[in-house]
Structure formats: structure tokens, C-alpha cells
Structure 1
Amino acid sequence: MPARFKMSKRGVGQLLRSDMVLAEMVRRAHVIKSTAESIAPVGGPGDPHRGLYKASFYVRSNRRGGRRRDRAVAVVGNTAPYGAHVEYGTEKVRAQHVLLRAAQSGGR
């Protein structure tokens, strides 16, 4: 006789907020952050902000994240004032997609 499984929505919710899932999200976020730091542009010798973008990555985590605030999440971001310009580019500067490329590595 084949095994049967009945899903418990409450049990899945508890799993999504568990220490185990949060720890894995944070681990992957730190791997993504490390990858982003390794591929981040630093700027030239005359740049007054040399290295600021590379030094401005952070990881934040929370047990109540997601659209419905029902799961553990970890977020990688950058606090440099021009971080969005580096990621998405401008009319004069080519997009670098540092966080996108780091996230595509999957945090493995």
C-alpha cells in the first residue's frame, strides 16, 4: 500500500518560521553577501568614495517576513548612497548588477 501524506497548514507555517529555516536563510544570505563583496567595483585611484560600495553590504533577518509576514527571511542589501546606480546603472554609467549576480549564485 502506498504511503499517504496529509499536509498540515499550521505545521508548514511553523516550519517556515523555525530556527532551522531561519538559520539556512541567514547562511545563504552571508554567502551571497560574500560573493557580492568579491565582485563589487571599488573605483579608481582618484575616486573620493573608493571602496565605500564594497564595504556597505549588510544582511538582515527576521522570522516574520515575506508578503504575509509568515516566514523566515534574510535580506542582503547595500547602504552606499549610490548603490542603486551601481546595480541598475544610469544614462552615463553601465549597470553592474552586483547583487543580482551574487544572488544568482544561489548562496550555495
Structure 2
Amino acid sequence: MPAKFRMSRRGVGQLLKSPMVEAEMLRRAHVIKGVAESISPVGDPAHDPHPGLYKASWHVTSTRRGGRRRDRATATVYNTAPHGGIVEVGTERIPGRHVLLRAAAIGGR
């Protein structure tokens, strides 16, 4: 006789907000942060007034009230360097390095 499974929506919701899911999201975020730090560009000290600032500005946060409907655990990797957005996506003259995008693709497993 085959086994039967009955899903509990409330149980799945509790699982998505659980400390163990938040811990796994945080673990993955720290792996992505490590990859991002390792591939971050560092400016030449002869020309850059703040060499290494971008590389040193990676941070991770987590919450159990994330997502669009605030119903699941999430973790966020972000950079606080003032020029972080320009390094990531670039401008019309400077091509983007896509550091966070590449780090998520490499280390997000």
C-alpha cells in the first residue's frame, strides 16, 4: 500500500520561518560574501585614494521575516562602499564588474 502525504500549509509556513532555515540562508550568504571578497577588485594605491575599500565593505544580514510577504527567512549580502553600485553595474564609460552576481552564481549552492 502506497504511503499518503498530506501537506500542512501552516506547517510549511512555520518551516520557512524557522531558525534552521534562517541558519542555512545565512550559511549560503557567508559563502557568497567570501567569494565576493575574493573576486573584488582592489585599486592601485598610486592612483586610488581608498584602495581595498570595496573589498572590505561586504556585509551579511538575515531575518526570519523576509520575502515579499514577510513570510520566510532570508539573508542578504550587500556592499556599503560609496562606489559599490558603479563597480557592480558600471556606467556608460566604465564596464560593470558584476562581482555580486558572479559570487552568487559561484557560491550560492
Q: Secondary structure at the match of 2:49?
A: coil
Deviations 1:8-48 (A, max 9, x none): 01000000011110000000000000000000001112201
Give the structure 1 partner of residue 64 of structure 2.
63
How much is the aligned-residue C-alpha RMSD, in angstroms? Answer: 0.9
Partner of 1:82: 83
1:19 aligns with 2:19: yes
SS in 1 for 2:27: helix
For residues 100 and 67 of structure 1, the distance between their equivalents in structure 2, rounded to whole angstroms, comes to: 21
Query: Match of 2:92?
Result: 91
Residue 43 in 1 paired to residue 43 in 2?
yes
Q: Distance in 2 between matches of 1:37 and 1:25?
A: 18
| Equivalent residue pairs, number | 108
* Cα deviations by residue, 1:54-83 (Å, 9 ceiling, x for unpaired): 000000100100000000000000001110
Structure 1-normalised TM-score? 0.96
Counterpart CA distance in 2 for 1:105 and 1:4 is 38
Query: What does residue 108 of structure 2 align with?
Result: 107
- 5+ residue gaps, structure 2, are none
Query: Matches of 2:93 and 2:108 in 1, distance apart?
Result: 31
Q: What is the distance in 2 between the residues matched to 1:71 and 1:83?
A: 28
Runs (4+) off by over 2 Å: none
Structure 1: any 5+ residue segments left out of the alignment?
none
SS at match of 1:2: coil
How far apart are 1:107 and its partner, in Å?
2.9
TM value normalised by structure 2: 0.95
* Overall identity of the aligned pairs, in %: 71
